[in-house]
Amino acid sequence: MCRAHFLVYKGEKGYIPVKYAFLLYPHQNVRYRQSMKLLAEQELLMTLRALGHESDVKLDDMGSAAFLHFEAENLTERDIRMLSQLASVYVMFREESGGMIPMESLHPQYIGEDLPALLKYKGKTNEMFTDTMLTMALASSRFMHVHDSQLIVCDPMAGRGTTLMLALRRGYHGVGVEIGKGDVKEACDYMTRYLEFHRIKHKKSENALTVRGKLGGRETKFVFSDTPEHFKDGDTRSLRMICGDTRDCLALLKAQSVHLMVTDIPYGVQKGTAGKQDSIGGTLEKALPAWHDTLKSGGVLAMSFNTYVTRREELERMCRLAGFEIVETANLEHWVEQAINRDVILARRA
């Protein structure tokens, strides 16, 4: 068992909380690095609270390195495992006698950690940010203690599937809906190549999906496992990529079938619409009720958007009309580049 689980005992005074220092990943862009520090602080704080630890988190620079400091009592192996999944954390340390002792990471890494990173394309969101949204969604949901093998993560605007591949890396199941045939094909071709190259035992199937009595989409499904033995025993994970309209999400995926939704709505940059009211509003207004009903009760939607294009107040209004309750968070708005100032909404199904 990891030494970080143990506390110092001082006679009748009881236990003294252990001090921790988490080193953050560096980033070459200085301005974006500042944004990531703030997101990392909130990611850790939300995770600790979801695990039952009301700890204060302090952000501190030590030379050119950024650390998050906190104190906590009685961290269990499960706690360490969940903290090991924090997207922004490079190394975890326990502070002791004026020094820092590295802690063993218990990140599951169910499939190769390179899976979400290898596929490159124009407009791809930084996978560290997407992973942070996944952590925030889980911490805000009622499924923090659900076993990884049972969790299903959906991206209703999946693109080429980065969110889903991050979910697979953790040992969750992934399901995506994407209207772009080219995006779906590239994601599926990449997944096929990855599984074959790494000789991962798997099955691949394709079938048509019906919506309101008509052809509404096509699904490519991968079923695989981390070891041949687990595959033989039926201990598997799945990736479903559906080429279809996100407004038909409920019909394509069925009611209360996913635990979490994590998505980037179009930033309005590639099509030259930055600074104008986005044209995605009408689609979202119709899609959000379907997204809501596809989530299980207690499930959370994490949705990022470009504030130069889309107003937070309008998105929150549409979420509430769809039946969501907005999860109260600290300010998650942050600068990305000249045309993108990003924010995140977390919305829960009651």
Going by the DSSP 8-state scheme, the letter that residue 271 receives in this structure is T
Cα→Cα distances 260→91, 220, 247, 306, Å: 27, 20, 17, 21
Going by the DSSP 8-state scheme, the letter that residue 315 receives in this structure is H
Give the span between the Cα atoms of 193 and 314, in whole angstroms.
41
pLDDT confidence of residue 5: 45
Task: Judge contact between 300 and 350, C-beta under 8 A.
Answer: no
Task: Judge contact between 94 and 103, C-beta under 8 A.
Answer: yes
**Structure-token match 């990022």, residue found:** 304
pLDDT confidence of residue 15: 63
β-pair partners for 136: none
* Strand 258-264 versus strand 152-155 pairing type: parallel
With a cut of 50, list the residues of the chain below it in pLDDT. 1-13, 269-278
